[in-house]
Chain A
Amino acid sequence: MASADPFDSALDLLRRLNPKDTAANVQRLCSLAPSLTEDLLESVDVPLTIKRDTKTGRDFLCCDYNRDGDSWRSPWSNEFFPAIDDGEGVVPSERVRKMEVKAGEAFDVYRELYFEGGISSVYFWDVDDGFAGCVLLKKSASPSSKSAASWDSIHVFEALDRARTARYKLTSTVILNLGTDAENLGNMDLSGNMVRQVEQDLPVENDGSHVTNIGKMVEDMEGKMRNLLQEVYFGKAKDVVGDLRSIASLSEAKRDKATHQEMINSMSRS
């Protein structure tokens, strides 16, 4: 059953260990097996960190896609924070940056309409035959001193140009952490992440079409994932607790079932 590949094993391990510790566990794995560092940082999603763009006074989100060494590029000013010492960091081409700005504005509206708060950041970059990007959204809330909740969306896509259409490949991760502490309940932590992928061919008239297409795809995906999260966090997890312990007496339930079966049998005989 053991996978022979250390990278696959590291991903398998991260899928099993407490998802709340993923960031710390990635660090542990990187020091245990330094050769996996680059691949792990690229493929494992951890809660997004926040930095301040001191030029525009706006906060932005950091991930591996806007990182250059120990600096992160702000989507608002296109500059790196902290500034990069030796020369400039990699920025998108003029055409791709234009789309990035447009998408950044559109998803800021999206964020306000769906999250009513939080922070959004959109990063695009050039790839062969098109461009790629990520849409990041983060909202944290502490409804009381004894509870905390946070949502991180990480949507990574690739847009490959075809004649009059583009092929989009979208991988979406939502990290949802919920914790609460109360006298009667004690401590309850319900945390984790879910990942989904989709591919779609959509018509493209001009660069504006890309922002529209990506917007629709992300909105659609995030809606589906919200339903999925609701089902798993509050339905499935609760059901498993019910499978471990039954509030109703098991022998009574068994008797009821037997009586029910007897009734069915006697009805089918008559």
Chain B
Amino acid sequence: MSSKTSALASFVESAPPGELTNVTSAIKTITGDNSLQSLAPAFQKYNEEQFTTVKLPGGSQSVIISSHNSLGDGRYYDVESQSSFAFDHSTQKASDVQSHVLESSQGDLVKSLLKSLSTHAQEHYPSSSLGVYPTFDDTSIAVVFVANKYSPNNFWNGRWRSQYIFAPSSGTLIGSIKVDVHYYEDGNVRLITSKPVSLSVSGGSAAEVTRQIAAAERMYQEELNRAFGSLSEGAFKGLRRQLPVTRQKIDWEKVGGYRLGQDIGGGRSR
């Protein structure tokens, strides 16, 4: 990869939720290159890692793009609608829908997980998309989940992603939860979080897997809310006071007179 391509790929990779189009059009203007052919792998990586959602032609539900439901050659499949489709990574559009029946020894568990997880999702996520797929070796099940909320008119966008691999034979459920929030009115502020999850599920029913995922995600959100509070009260306060200890603003006419205290108190850099 040339250094130019890797620089542009890094821009694509760090595009905030819902702003890939803006990032792409800025890149086009800066480089004067309207095709951006060399960025095809970067767009694919972005879509698969960010769980980009797309509406199939004629369909109403959004389906997820991820490495777990990739069929290769730019095609992906959806369990619920029993279809496969071609996906254009640079325009994020789906086409050429074909029938695709899931052939897996985990088929029943996949379907019951889809059902119980989507009931849970509707209870806690105002807008989300879910995918459940057998892994390629058909020994485990991959769960991918994304909730987006875009409000570009108010200069913010957000994304919650979780993904898990459930191994029915051992009962292990391993995955991660990631949150990405961008706020850009009069500035550029970004929240990026990542939390590994490792659980063990007894029994291995879809209901139990869902219960464990729901508990882990709830606990994580509560933990994150506490972290906002402790960062505000701790690290933030420790950087700059709201007012000096005297609780008064500085008298700039007499600021020379403050020097005595300052000389005693130090303040010279080491």
Contacts and interface: CB of A to CB of B under 8 A. Distances in A.
Interface string B1-29: 00110011011001110010111011111
B232 A230 contact: yes
B221 interface: yes
A234 B192 CA distance: 14
A2 B259 contact: no
Given A119-B269, A188-B193, A109 B262 contact: yes
Residue from the set A58, A188, A250 with the largest chain B CB neighbour count within 10 Å: A188
Interface string B116-127: 000000111110
Given A17-B15, A190-B231, A59 B269 contact: yes
A113 B179 CA distance: 36
A26 to B, nearest CB: 11
B71 interface: no
Nearest to B189: A192
A213 to B, nearest CB: 8
Interface string A82-113: 00000000000000000000000110111111
Contacts of A110: 250, 255
A113 B248 CA distance: 10
Interface residues of B, number: 90
A80 to B, nearest CB: 19
Interface in A178-227: 178, 180, 182, 184-196, 211-212, 215-216, 219, 222-223, 226
B228 A234 contact: yes
Q: Which residue, B7, B11, B259, has most C-beta atoms of chain A within 10 A?
A: B11
A237 B26 contact: no
Contacts of A182: 227
Nearest to A1: B25
Nearest to A138: B239
A141 interface: yes
A41 to B, nearest CB: 16
A2 B25 contact: yes
Contact of A178 (B148, B225, B236, B246): B236
A234 B236 CA distance: 10
A125 interface: no
A241 to B, nearest CB: 6
A114 B224 contact: no
Contacts of B126: 243-244, 246, 250
Contacts of B217: 245
B234 interface: yes
Contact of A12 (B15, B26, B235, B255): B26
Interface residues of A, number: 91
B183 A244 contact: no
B192 A189 contact: yes
A117 B259 CA distance: 15
A66 B8 CA distance: 31
Contacts, number: 271
B68 interface: no
Given A186-B196, A233-B232, A13 B26 contact: yes
Contact of A149 (B19, B22, B193, B235): B235
Contacts of B255: 105-106, 109-110, 211, 215
Nearest to B21: A1
Contacts of B28: 2
Contacts of B156: 236, 240
Contact of B241 (A12, A17, A21, A116): A116
B221 A247 contact: yes
A255 to B, nearest CB: 12
A233 B179 contact: no
A249 B181 CA distance: 22
B239 A185 contact: no
Contacts of B256: 105-106
A55 interface: no
Contacts of A238: 224-225, 228
Given A186-B193, A189-B192, A234-B236, A31 B231 contact: no
Interface string A112-137: 11111001000000000000000000
Interface of A: 1-6, 9-10, 12-22, 25, 28-29, 31-33, 36, 58-59, 105-106, 108-116, 119, 139, 141, 143, 147, 149-151, 176, 178, 180, 182, 184-196, 211-212, 215-216, 219, 222-223, 226, 228-230, 232-234, 236-238, 240-241, 243-247, 249-251
26 contacts: A16-B182, A17-B23, A22-B188, A28-B11, A32-B8, A109-B262, A151-B239, A180-B235, A182-B227, A185-B224, A189-B193, A192-B189, A193-B189, A211-B255, A215-B250, A219-B250, A222-B240, A232-B187, A232-B189, A234-B231, A234-B232, A237-B183, A243-B149, A245-B221, A250-B122, A250-B125
Across the A-B interface, the 6 shortest Cβ-Cβ residue pairs: A186-B195, A192-B189, A194-B187, A113-B244, A2-B25, A9-B29
